[in-house]
Amino acid sequence: MWGLVRLLLAWLGGWGCMGRLAAPARAWAGSRGHPGPALLRTRRSWVWNQFFVIEEYAGPEPVLIGKLHSDVDRGEGRTKYLLTGEGAGTVFVIDEATGNIHVTKSLDREEKAQYVLLAQAVDRASNRPLEPPSEFIIKVQDINDNPPIFPLGPYHATVPEMSNVGTSVIQVTAHDADDPSYGNSAKLVYTVLDGLPFFSVDPQTGVVRTAIPNMDRETQEEFLVVIQAKDMGGHMGGLSGSTTVTVTLSDVNDNPPKFPQSLYQFSVVETAGPGTLVGRLRAQDPDLGDNALMAYSILDGEGSEAFSISTDSQGRDGLLTVRKPLDFESRRSYSFRVEATNTLIDPAYLRRGPFKDVASVRVAVQDAPEPPAFTQAAYHLTVPENKAPGTLVGQISAADLDSPASPIRYSILPHSDPERCFSIQPEEGTIHTAAPLDREARVWHNLTVLATELDSSAQASRVQVAIQTLDENDNAPQLAEPYDTFVCDSAAPGQLIQVIRALDRDEVGNSSHVSFRGPLGPDANFTVRDNRDGSASLLLPSRPAPPRHAPYLVPIELWDWGQPALSSTATVTVSVCRCQPDGSVASCWPEAHLSAAGLSTGALLAIITCVGALLALVVLFVALRRQKQEALMVLEEEDVRENIITYDDEGGGEEDTEAFDITALQNPDGAAPPAPGPPARRDVLPRARVSRQPRPPGPADVAQLLALRLREADEDPGVPPPACMVPSITHGLSLILAPLASS
């Protein structure tokens, strides 16, 4: 029955929408060749426009969906209908004679909603078009065969906790593949299947909203909401689809911190230094993230003086630490209050009360063995120099802070006083000098004093004691350097000869000013002018005397202004020399000239003595070596040298070998004297051979000879005094070498 109805609807729909399509006009010039006005044939049109077919039809096939007809078709069978386009010949077929169009299979609108085809009427015999081709459409009519789906599901959404009713959470959207323009197949309605009474959904838009107020994240953090979409406007018989929405409540700072206990008790050893951790406190806050961050503070003054509290890196725990050194003997416990406060506070929730909490803290100080404590962190003592051993320098003091207190014993660490300049009284801690002190040798003495408990040697403390040696005026002023200068005999009166500087080893208080006075004695023809700055100028008051062998020795007196004042006398050596016009020295007494060059008399004598001794040794060694060589080979060397020099022939054969005995060169001592005979060469006259010299004396004989000659030189009255060292050395060498030369 339903198949017939659907077929009838298709037929009515197809023919009910028929139209007429114009056919091409054909002009006729006349009939049977007779002239006349041209007759225009009126255009004919198709009597159809579009057809419909219901999707998913499951009746008998093929199904007639429409009919094509042209007004040129007179029913004589001469007209043939052709169909081309989408699905022609496969999905849609046409009866060439009648123009009936059939669909051969079930169609799906969601796969293809319409088909465009081309229809044409031709002459069956000649295939000549009787009408121009015309386009028509076959539409697939929709039925409700697709349920709604949620292409973006499942959904996840977040909404702040404690939100008001109606707060939008998320919008869900379903899609129905059916035709929304035909019927209610694609008209959707949204409902909540699961998640009531916490959430609701708008039936038309799919917007999910909160349905109850003050949802608390700390009570339930996550909700699963099931949303359904139903087509046909939600009426019975419609298709439906569903999706899930996971709703998470985000945290807000709606909970104040709370200490789990009202009293915290800790203990700390009195030797704990500043910064030592005493304990941790944590206030509980069910909020998350920044909403749970806390800051801690100490409310009472006595606790904040001895302790401090800070928040750890996580922002949750309070770290209680020591702020200043503790002392069990002076205070054994501390009691104070600690407050925890949220750092981020939402004003909308202040109605719930203050976002902070307070707890009490008690800290007990525990006793611990402590080393002795000195009354000062370091000691500075003074003592004058040159005091007798046993002089009191000062006293140091240390005490045992434990209860009961132990006696203290003092000692000086040896490495801090290696010279043993000081001593300390073990029981009283008084420091005395053990030797006289010299400020000019050492100003400061840095001692390390050790204080040890008598009852426990492990408990000991050290302290630095700086002892300053005070100055006394115990050093007379002196010249800064030995002054040995010269002046030209042509110098003008009042000319500056030398600037003399003084040096006082005492401290500034005793040598702030050094005075000069002079000259004194026979060489008072020079003037000394005090410059009042620790120096004096040596001046020439009148033209000096001509140069003399001995320099002038100018005595000068120096004294300081200490208490008591000390003085000394120094000598300045001045030589008078002849000078060139440009001021350079032309001639001067040797000693003065060399002194001006920077060498003293003692240095010159030492140099001359050393040079003379070296010369004597060198000459003696050369003479002895030469005498020994001459004694060994004097005759053989003369013979060999003479034969080599006079031999200039081309070669005499065996006569040449007989003229010279080679054994004299190999062993001069062992060679036998040649037999007398005629000379081997006519150009050389025979010479008389000198007898061999005796062997030279040995080392013992030379030493005795040297000692004898030196004694004779010392006893010779003609030898000059020791001041003339060079002539005496020359004379002594001549006495020593005279017998060697004569021999």
Secondary structure (DSSP) of 44-94: P--S--EEEEETT--SSSSEEEEE---TT--SSS-EEEEEEETTBTTTEEE
> What pLDDT score was predicted for residue 657?
46
pLDDT digits (tens, 9 = 90+) for 223-269: 999 999 998 888 887 899 999 999 999 998 888 899 999 999 999 99
**Cβ atoms of 328 and 368 closer than 8 Å:** yes
Question: What is the third-level CATH fold of 373-470?
Answer: Immunoglobulin-like (2.60.40)
Q: How far apart are CA 430 and CA 223, in angstroms?
A: 85
**Taking 80 as the threshold, does the pLDDT of residue 307 lie above it?**
yes
Phi, psi (5° rounding) for residue 120?
-150, 140
Q: Which of 57-61, 89-93, 443-447 has the highest mean pLDDT?
A: 443-447
* 263-366 has the same fold as 2-24+43-141: yes
Q: How confident is the model at residue 451 (pLDDT cuts 50, 70, 90)?
A: very high
pLDDT digits (tens, 9 = 90+) for 4-47: 223 333 333 433 333 332 233 333 233 333 334 334 444 444 44
> What pLDDT score was predicted for residue 497?
83
Query: Superfamily for 478-599?
Result: Cadherins (2.60.40.60)
**Cβ atoms of 92 and 104 closer than 8 Å:** yes
> What pLDDT score was predicted for residue 208?
96
- Residue 44 token pair: 């004919």
More confident residue, 659 or 391: 391
- Helical spans, DSSP H, in 453-599: 590-596
> What pLDDT score was predicted for residue 295?
92
Q: How far apart are CA 103 and CA 109, in angstroms?
A: 14
21-48: buried (b, 16+ CB within 10 Å) or exposed (e) per residue?
bebeeeeeeeeeeeeeeeeeeeebebbb
Side-chain-facing half-sphere of 287: CA atoms under 13 Å: 27
pLDDT digits (tens, 9 = 90+) for 702-733: 566 676 766 666 666 555 544 333 334 444 44
**Cβ atoms of 513 and 569 closer than 8 Å:** no
681-711: buried (b, 16+ CB within 10 Å) or exposed (e) per residue?
eeeeeeeeeeeeeeeebeeeeeeeeeeebee
How distant, in Å, are the alpha carbons of 390, 458, 471 from that of 422? Answer: 9, 25, 18
Phi, psi (5° rounding) for residue 83?
-130, 125
Domain range 263-366, CATH architecture: Sandwich (2.60)
> What pLDDT score was predicted for residue 177?
84
Q: How confident is the model at residue 398 (pLDDT cuts 50, 70, 90)?
A: very high
Residue written as token pair 């005999």? 489
**Cβ atoms of 597 and 557 closer than 8 Å:** no
Residue written as token pair 């009746």? 59
- Residue 399 token pair: 């005490």
Average pLDDT over residues 382-405: 88
**Cβ atoms of 412 and 423 closer than 8 Å:** yes
> What pTM was estimated for this model as a whole?
0.43
pLDDT digits (tens, 9 = 90+) for 113-163: 889 988 888 988 888 888 888 888 888 877 878 899 999 989 999 999 989
> What pLDDT score was predicted for residue 646?
42
Give residue 507's region: left, alpha or beta (phi > 0; psi -120 to 50): beta
**Taking 60 as the threshold, does the pLDDT of residue 553 lie above it?**
yes
pLDDT digits (tens, 9 = 90+) for 168-177: 999 999 998 8
Peptide bond into 129 cis (omega under 30): no
> What pLDDT score was predicted for residue 250?
92
Average pLDDT over residues 307-336: 91
**Taking 90 as the threshold, does the pLDDT of residue 414 lie above it?**
yes
Mean residue pLDDT of the chain comes to: 76
Domain range 2-24+43-141, CATH architecture: Sandwich (2.60)
**Taking 70 as the threshold, does the pLDDT of residue 593 lie above it?**
no
Q: What are the E-state strand segments in 195-312?
A: 199-201, 207-210, 222-230, 240-250, 263-269, 277-282, 294-298, 307-311
More confident residue, 31 or 612: 612
> What are the domain boundaries of the chain?
2-24+43-141, 155-250, 263-366, 373-470, 478-599, 619-636+693-743
Q: How confident is the model at residue 353 (pLDDT cuts 50, 70, 90)?
A: low
| CB-CB neighbours of 323 under 10 Å | 17
Distance linking the first and last C-alpha atoms of the chain: 176
- CATH code given to domain 155-250: 2.60.40.60
87-96, 109-118, 381-390, 629-638: least confident range? 629-638
Strand partners, 391: none
Helix (H, G, I), strand (E, B) or coil at 621: helix
Strand partners, 444: 468
Name the residue among 163, 153, 166 with its Cα closest to residue 209.
166
pLDDT digits (tens, 9 = 90+) for 513-529: 777 777 655 555 678 88
